[in-house]
Amino acid sequence: MAVACILLSAFAALVRAETCPMHSSSSSPALLQGSMKVQATLSVDERSKTSKKGVGLPSSTGYGATQLEALNASWFYSWGLKPKITVPDGVEFVPIVATAKYLQWSPASGCHDILGFNEPDHSGQANISVSEALKLWPQVLAKVPTNGRIGSPATAGNPVTGSWFPEFMAASPHVDFVAVHWYKGAKVDKFKSDIQEVIDKYQKPVWVTEFAPQTIAESTADPTKWSQAEVNEFVQEVVSWMESNSMVERYAWHDSKSGTSWLYDDAGGLSETGQVYAAS
Ligand SMILES: *[C@@H]1O[C@H](CO)[C@@H](O)[C@H](O)[C@H]1NC(C)=O
Ligand SMILES: *[C@@H]1O[C@H](CO)[C@@H](O)[C@H](O)[C@H]1NC(C)=O
């Protein structure tokens, strides 16, 4: 009896981990129906209006439902197509076709939106040329469920002033929203103007899928370059700005594993930065 119960709950956890909860229907145009030139709408997904806050939660860290709940996150992604944890109620997992290798696998069933390549312009990440990415893009689109939407590749370089992203977008691939990474210090005005530039240039909703004052490497080298007070103010100001900007559909902090951009403490609880993020 006890064994059966354990097996059953383990099975239930497995089933839940394979699916994406929280899919209300959406008014977004169906992707891949009819012409590939479906006009992206400027209106933001209804479902996302009250659930912008998320987090990148690497599956290797041991972090899971406890951290998602503590962070007040409505969604998360793990640089993979399926969640490696039991997804808590009220939290949505978003698959990502992180690199070309992921084209051979399917996203978790029941998902809605899919993210495109992770940092194709970074040799240690997706590392794909613009021409290769454009050639593979139909295969990425083929992973998007009916009524789902596709996020653009998120570049390491600046998506407006860099070269990779403008070249990619110049070929007019189907992209429903633009995914952006940002690590430029605890600089509120710089953050707002950079994100606004992306919105203005591409005229599509934006998901800030990685952001923090510092990257993991920068934080390792200089963990307190930005004081706790500076980071707290940055978090409060940019979160409040993104919540009020209807073109920013979602955002996810990328935790730096040390220093003042780290969301956690050694015991897996929230750092001060994590607490401020949860409450903002
Ligand atoms: C990145 O891609 C280039 C071109 O295909 C290749 O020569 C290089 O080895 C790749 N870098 C890494 C780190 O895999
Ligand atoms: C979670 O977010 C909501 C809405 O922004 C906020 O009212 C609440 O205080 C937050 N919870 C925590 C634990 O910070």
CATH (domain of 275): 3.20.20.80
Write down the pTM of the prediction. Answer: 0.85
Is 32 within the bounds of a domain?
Answer: no
CA 72 to ligand 2: nearest atom: 1
Is 9 within the bounds of a domain?
Answer: no
CA 275 to ligand 2: nearest atom: 14
Is 12 within the bounds of a domain?
Answer: no
Ligand nearest to the CA of 127: 1
The end-to-end CA distance of the chain, in Å, is 46
The model's confidence at residue 91, banded by pLDDT at 50, 70 and 90, is very high
Mean pLDDT of the region 29-36: 36
Is 212 within the bounds of a domain?
Answer: yes
Is 96 within the bounds of a domain?
Answer: yes
Question: What is the pLDDT at residue 216?
Answer: 95
Smallest CA separation from ligand 1 atom 10, residue: 123
Question: What is the pLDDT at residue 110?
Answer: 87
Question: What is the pLDDT at residue 211?
Answer: 98
Question: What is the pLDDT at residue 19?
Answer: 53
141 contact partners, CB below 8 Å, separation of at least 6 = 31, 32, 36, 150, 174
Q: Is 90 in the pocket of ligand 2 (CB under 6 A)?
A: no
**Tokens (6 digits) for 216:** 């993991």
- Give me ligand 2 centre to Cα 156, in Å: 30
Q: Is 42 in the pocket of ligand 2 (CB under 6 A)?
A: no
pLDDT tens, 92-126?
999 999 999 999 999 999 899 999 999 999 999 99
Cβ atoms of 53 and 251 closer than 8 Å: yes
Question: What is the pLDDT at residue 20?
Answer: 63
Is 31 within the bounds of a domain?
Answer: no
For the chain, how many structural domains are there in total?
1
Q: Is 35 in the pocket of ligand 1 (CB under 6 A)?
A: no
Ligand nearest to the CA of 275: 2
Is 35 within the bounds of a domain?
Answer: no
Q: Is 39 in the pocket of ligand 1 (CB under 6 A)?
A: no
Q: Which domain holds residue 95?
A: 41-279
Question: What is the pLDDT at residue 21?
Answer: 53
Which of 99, 117, 118, 123 is the best mutation target for the ligand 1 pocket, counting ligand atoms within 8 Å of the beta carbon and taking the most? 123
Is 74 within the bounds of a domain?
Answer: yes
Tell me: pLDDT of 23 over 70. no
